[in-house]
Amino acid sequence: MLSISRRAALAVLACTFLLSGCVSPPPPAEAEQRVFAEPEDGAYPVTIEHAYGSTEVTTQPKRVVAIGWSGADIAIQFGTVPVAQGHATGIEADYYPWVSEAIEKLGAPFPSVDPSLERGEVDLEYVLMQQPDLIVAINSGITEAEYKALSEIAPTIAFPSEPWATTVDEHIQMMGAALGRPAYATQIEKDTTQRIADVAAAHPELSGVTYLHSFLPSDDGQVVVFGSVDPRAQILEALGLEPLAGTLELQRKAGDPASFTVSMEQFLQLNPDVHVVISDEDTWREAVAANAAFQSWTPVSENRVALIDDPATGLALATATPLGIDWGIDAIADRISRVVTETRGEGGAS
């Protein structure tokens, strides 16, 4: 239930935002089931610490608004389908395919979508109209001012320390606490680890293969490389791949970030067994044609490139959420495996 002070705040916000006059937002559709799991015993009340303070959640939320990256994805994993979320980044759809499939399996209504809930300045009026009882912005870039405004609408949970720097494990643990399923959060992590291990066991040829995962070279000759602390790299290593010693050294010199930028000269000195890159084929061909040095780089000239050219599969690796991993891990492993076996002489050119 909303407190008197929060009801008053909502009324003020409604008066401020609604152009048609000082009226309350429409009531939520109570018949729409969006929560499909009961809270665990003793889950509430819970206080969750974050960058802007702490937020108390007293009962299981029924209408959740997800702000930022992967919040809706992870909430759905816990059996709660948000009332609103941002647009799926990187594909021509409102929802990632694994999110759509999970919602359809639950039989829930799909969340409404607003671009401001993904990145940029949050549309407070839009959030208000959703009548949320919890706002999760655990992996987002909301400002402190936005946090304070959102908190007047509903209890709001921001990122744990830095904007856009929440790890998947942190996201799962904080979401699990907020949605009343902290023990299940741990089980999700165990199940995901086992899922990757099962795929790795089916691909023993990947064990010990050195890899480099990066973006394509930019026009100015710089390359963004993903370090071993990045979730994408951690998934690849869980499949049995090993990071190059040279990559680890560059990562150390950069201060051990999740990703770091190297010069083309530094990049060309690296020689992995397989180069993993997410790109469509046209962009890949253009990048190779535009850069003679990249074209002659040994992994490229010897067809040792695992090109993940399906946008959704690439995003499953990039988001690294349990739902996304479960959906995409087979295709990722199969693509890398094909390159490894072909370049070992067990097939034709990649």
Structure tokens of 83? 């009332």
Residue 184, C-beta contacts closer than 8 angstroms, at least 6 positions apart: 37, 40, 78, 176
Q: Please tell me whether residues 170 and 209 are part of one structural domain.
A: no
Report d(CA 205, CA 203) in Å as an integer.
Answer: 5
Determine the pLDDT at residue 2: 44
Report d(CA 321, CA 215) in Å as an integer.
Answer: 20
Q: Please tell me whether residues 246 and 128 are part of one structural domain.
A: no
Determine the pLDDT at residue 26: 53
Count of domains for the chain: 2
Instruction: Say if 295 falls within a structural domain.
Output: yes
Q: Please tell me whether residues 54 and 163 are part of one structural domain.
A: yes
Final residue in a domain of this structure, among 118, 147, 180: 180
Instruction: Say if 40 falls within a structural domain.
Output: no
Lowest mean pLDDT among 35-39, 70-74, 90-94, 311-315: 90-94
Confidence of residue 88 (pLDDT cuts 50, 70, 90): confident
Instruction: Say if 13 falls within a structural domain.
Output: no
Residue 70, C-beta contacts closer than 8 angstroms, at least 6 positions apart: 139, 168, 171, 319, 321
Range 75-81 average pLDDT: 98
Confidence of residue 120 (pLDDT cuts 50, 70, 90): confident
Report d(CA 297, CA 308) in Å as an integer.
Answer: 19
Instruction: Say if 349 falls within a structural domain.
Output: no
Q: By CB neighbour count within 10 A (0-12 exposed, 13-18 middle, 19+ buried), where does 145 fall?
A: exposed
Closest residue by Cα to residue 86 from 77, 75, 78, 107: 75
Which carries the bigger pLDDT value, residue 72 or residue 9? 72
Q: Please tell me whether residues 167 and 236 are part of one structural domain.
A: no
Confidence of residue 239 (pLDDT cuts 50, 70, 90): very high
Determine the pLDDT at residue 31: 62
Range 224-246 average pLDDT: 95
Q: Please tell me whether residues 173 and 298 are part of one structural domain.
A: no
Confidence of residue 92 (pLDDT cuts 50, 70, 90): confident
Which carries the bigger pLDDT value, residue 9 or residue 33? 33
Final residue in a domain of this structure, among 164, 180, 196: 180
Percentage of the residues of the chain whose pLDDT score is greater than 90: 84
Determine the pLDDT at residue 89: 81
Q: Please tell me whether residues 171 and 239 are part of one structural domain.
A: no
Instruction: Say if 11 falls within a structural domain.
Output: no
307 touches 281 (CB < 8 A) = yes
What mean pLDDT value characterizes the chain?
A: 91
Q: Report whether pLDDT(196) > 90.
A: yes
Q: Which amino acid is at 166?
A: T
Highest mean pLDDT among 8-22, 27-41, 111-125: 111-125
Instruction: Say if 110 falls within a structural domain.
Output: yes
Range 111-123 average pLDDT: 94
Lowest mean pLDDT among 114-128, 234-248, 298-312, 335-349: 335-349
Q: Which residues constitute the domain of residue 211?
A: 205-344
Q: Please tell me whether residues 59 and 128 are part of one structural domain.
A: yes
Q: Strand 112-113 relative to strand 210-213: parallel, antiparallel, unpaired?
A: unpaired
Q: Please tell me whether residues 176 and 212 are part of one structural domain.
A: no
CATH number at residue 240: 3.40.50.1980
Instruction: Say if 312 falls within a structural domain.
Output: yes
Q: Please tell me whether residues 340 and 215 are part of one structural domain.
A: yes
Range 148-152 average pLDDT: 98
Instruction: Say if 33 falls within a structural domain.
Output: no
Determine the pLDDT at residue 349: 34
pLDDT, tens digit (0-9, with 9 covering 90-100), for 310-325: 999 999 999 999 999 9
CA distances 332 to 192, 238, 277, 343, Å, are 15, 12, 11, 17
Q: Please tell me whether residues 51 and 173 are part of one structural domain.
A: yes
Q: Please tell me whether residues 333 and 214 are part of one structural domain.
A: yes
Q: Please tell me whether residues 101 and 227 are part of one structural domain.
A: no
pLDDT, tens digit (0-9, with 9 covering 90-100), for 128-137: 999 999 999 9
Range 238-251 average pLDDT: 96
Final residue in a domain of this structure, among 180, 195, 213: 180
